[in-house]
Amino acid sequence: MQPAEHALIAIDIQNDFCPGGALAVDEGDAVVSRVNTLMDDFAVRVLTQDWHPENHLSFAANHDGAAPFSMTEMPYGPQVLWPRHCVQGTEGAAFHRALRTHPADLILRKGFRPEIDSYSAFFENDRTTPTGLEGYLRTRGVTHLTLVGLATDFCVAYSALDAARLGFEVVVRMDACRAIDLDGSLDEALSQMRAAGVTLANG
């Protein structure tokens, strides 16, 4: 059992990010059993959930003529235009059926503002609008975070980088993550996390 000040943050283990989903991560469902086991090692356990409205501006379908995975410019910077995914209340937005959700202390929903995407569990993509997770963890006395889930190179990496920037000690369990790897995004994310002092661990 990890000390009380250690928390497990499980990122976006949802149907749309698993095989057969609208934005499937290769072998995304392979993380579920590992995450289920890890939950027993932590006193504080948080699950995050992508939770988009139909009209979310990160969806390619909401931009005339835009192809999925193309880029656009938002007021907060470059934005990948994704296939429609994790729409509020849909089966795609639900957690993977095999994921243990009952041990969670907190389920944090993000990406619900139509005009801004939210990869990180801590901030919207403008990097300034908070989700409230930092305050929750501070109140619980948490200083160390272990991150798992989907996808390594987007929501996990953004969360890890923000957590490190906020002063948490951060470990990403690579054996309990899977990546999209969009045009080299995985290598870039791993380099950024190492440079920020994030520990990349396997088992």
Catalytic residue set: 12, 110, 155
Candidates 92, 96, 63, 97; CA nearest to 80 is: 63
Q: Is 29 exposed, middle or buried (0-12, 13-18, 19+ CB in 10 A)?
A: buried
Cα–Cα distance between 141 and 136 in angstroms, integer? 9
Tokens representing 113 are 């503002």
Cα–Cα distance between 98 and 128 in angstroms, integer? 34
- β-pairing verdict for 71-74 and 77-80: antiparallel
Whats the size of the chain, residue-wise?
203
In angstroms, what CA-CA distances link 20 with 27, 33, 54, 91?
A: 10, 18, 20, 12
Cα 62 to the center of its chain, rounded Å? 22
Cα–Cα distance between 116 and 75 in angstroms, integer? 9
Provide φ and ψ at 80, rounded to 5°.
-70, 135
